[in-house]
């Protein structure tokens, strides 16, 4: 039995976050806008063969923040990470019509040819170099005349919001105050990433006695 997923992180930008908070909706988009063309072109071919006119997706990860996540998905002054309660948001996915969701599987090129890959699993397969992302993907597929697919949420499913280290401290304090004032359910949940400058980590080394350093000479 697969262990429960306690959290799902979504790396994104401040404008997307504000839209989510204001409208209380998660927005799945067309994958053609993604940078990874290995992914987008395969999904496009899958959609064509499956007979769907529309396929929208959104990507999460249960992993803690890494340099890769920030640089690839939320780089710059407006980058942020929304941490959702894993149990609650997966329940939402499960009860939403036409939604499929699950972990992405990572394959080498020689593992794809003549393999036993199920056709319906194609949107959940990526090349092996991406495996450290441990992506949890959500897709909607159908023939409805939509430009995006939206799911209504409660802000209570958000456990934490973390802003990129590049955001200047005065700007962060203003954004934090605005969010916690306008959305009371998020009070105490807004933070700034310390991945590049963690004072607790630095202090541990500052406390190492100089005698220990001399022993290394």
Model confidence pLDDT, tens digit, residues 34-44: 888 888 999 99
| Between residues 187 and 36, the one the model is more confident about | 187
Question: What sign does the dihedral 61-66-70-71 (CA atoms) show?
Answer: negative
pTM value? 0.89
Rg of the chain over all Cα atoms, to the nearest angstrom: 20
Q: pLDDT per residue over 52-73, tens digit each?
A: 999 999 999 999 999 999 999 9
State the DSSP string of 56-91.
EEEEEBSSPP-HHHHHHHS-STTEEEEEEEHHHHHH
Where are the chain's structural domains?
7-215
On the question of pLDDT at 131 being above 70, the answer is yes
């Amino acid at each position: 039995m697969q262990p429960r997923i306690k959290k799902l992180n979504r790396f994104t930008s401040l404008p997307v976050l504000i839209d989510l908070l204001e409208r209380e909706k998660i927005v799945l988009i067309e994958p053609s806008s993604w940078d990874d063309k290995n992914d987008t072109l395969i999904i496009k071919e899958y959609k064509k063969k499956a007979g769907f006119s529309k396929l929208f997706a959104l990507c999460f990860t249960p992993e803690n923040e890494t340099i890769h996540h920030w640089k690839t998905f939320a780089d710059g002054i407006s980058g942020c990470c929304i941490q959702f309660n894993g149990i609650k948001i997966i329940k939402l996915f499960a009860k939403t019509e036409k939604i499929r969701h699950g972990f992405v599987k990572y394959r080498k090129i020689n593992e794809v040819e003549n393999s036993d890959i199920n056709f319906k699993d194609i949107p959940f397969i990526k090349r092996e170099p991406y495996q450290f992302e441990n992506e949890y993907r959500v897709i909607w597929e159908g023939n409805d005349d939509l430009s995006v697919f939206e799911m209504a949420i409660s802000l209570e499913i958000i456990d934490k919001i973390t802003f990129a280290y590049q955001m200047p401290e005065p700007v962060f304090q203003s954004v934090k105050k605005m969010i916690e004032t306008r959305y009371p359910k998020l009070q105490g949940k807004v933070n700034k990433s310390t991945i590049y400058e963690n004072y607790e980590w630095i202090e541990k080394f500052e406390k190492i006695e100089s005698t220990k350093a001399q022993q290394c000479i």
